[in-house]
Amino acid sequence: MVDTHTQYHKIKDEVDKAVIEVMESSAFINGKIVQEFAGNLAGYLNVKHVIPCGNGTDALQIALMALGLKPGDEVITPSFTYIATTEVVALLRLTPVFVDVDEKTFCIDPAAIEKAITPRTKAIVPVHLYGQSANMEAIMKIAEKHSLFVIEDNAQAIGCNFHFSDGSSKKTGTIGHIGCTSFYPSKNLGAFGDGGSLFTNDDALAEKLKMIANHGQKVRYYHDLVGCNSRLDSIQAAILNIKLKHLDAYCKARQEVAAYYNAAFSGNDKITVPYKADNSDHVYHQYTLILNNVERDAFKDRLEKKGVPSMIYYPLPAHKQKMFAQFDVANQELPVTTYLTDRVISLPIHTEMDAEQLAFIKDAVLSAL
Ligand X SMILES: *Cc1c(COP(=O)(O)O)cnc(C)c1O
**Contacting residue, 7, 57, 188, 351, with ligand X by CB under 6 A:** 57
Our finding on whether 56 is near ligand X (CB under 6 A) is: yes
Our finding on whether 182 is near ligand X (CB under 6 A) is: yes
Three-state DSSP state, 108: strand
Our finding on whether 85 is near ligand X (CB under 6 A) is: yes
Question: Of 162, 151, 161, whose CA–CA distance to 126 is shortest?
Answer: 151
Question: Of 182, 235, 143, whose CA–CA distance to 62 is shortest?
Answer: 182
Our finding on whether 196 is near ligand X (CB under 6 A) is: yes
From 26-34, 53-61, 232-240, 340-348, give the range in contact with ligand X by CB under 6 A: 53-61
Residues 100-129 that bind ligand X (CB under 6 A): 127
Our finding on whether 241 is near ligand X (CB under 6 A) is: no
From 50-58, 70-78, 112-120, 296-304, give the range in contact with ligand X by CB under 6 A: 50-58
Nearer to ligand X, 98 or 265 (CB): 98
Our finding on whether 346 is near ligand X (CB under 6 A) is: no
For 277, counting Cβ atoms within 10 Å of its Cβ (0-12 exposed, 13-18 middle, 19+ buried), the class is middle
What one-character DSSP code corresponds to residue 306?
Answer: T
| Number of amino acids touching ligand X (CB under 6 A) | 15
Residue 240 · residue 336 · CB < 8 Å: no
Our finding on whether 233 is near ligand X (CB under 6 A) is: no
What's the one-letter identity of residue 70?
A: K
Our finding on whether 230 is near ligand X (CB under 6 A) is: no
> Minimum Å distance from CB 109 to ligand X?
17
> Minimum Å distance from CB 182 to ligand X?
3
Nearer to ligand X, 1 or 298 (CB): 1
From 71-79, 149-157, 222-230, 333-341, give the range in contact with ligand X by CB under 6 A: 149-157
**Contacting residue, 8, 184, 192, 327, with ligand X by CB under 6 A:** 184
> Minimum Å distance from CB 67 to ligand X?
18
Got the DSSP string for 187-252? SSS--SS--EEEEES-HHHHHHHHHHHBTTEEETTEE-S---B---BHHHHHHHHHHHTTHHHHHH
- Residues marked active site are found at 187
CA atoms within 13 A on the CB side of 122: 17
Q: Is the dihedral of CA 307, 285, 235, 17 positive or negative?
A: positive
Residue 286 · residue 313 · CB < 8 Å: yes
Residue 182 · residue 55 · CB < 8 Å: yes
Q: Is the dihedral of CA 11, 193, 234, 34 positive or negative?
A: positive
Our finding on whether 82 is near ligand X (CB under 6 A) is: yes
Separation between Cα atoms, residue 244 and residue 232, nearest integer Å: 15
From 40-48, 55-63, 207-215, 337-345, give the range in contact with ligand X by CB under 6 A: 55-63
Residue 282 · residue 347 · CB < 8 Å: no
**Contacting residue, 155, 211, 212, 318, with ligand X by CB under 6 A:** 155
Our finding on whether 63 is near ligand X (CB under 6 A) is: no
Three-state DSSP state, 112: helix
From 31-39, 51-59, 224-232, 264-272, give the range in contact with ligand X by CB under 6 A: 51-59
Residues that bind ligand X (CB under 6 A): 55-57, 81-82, 84-85, 127, 153, 155-156, 182, 184, 194, 196
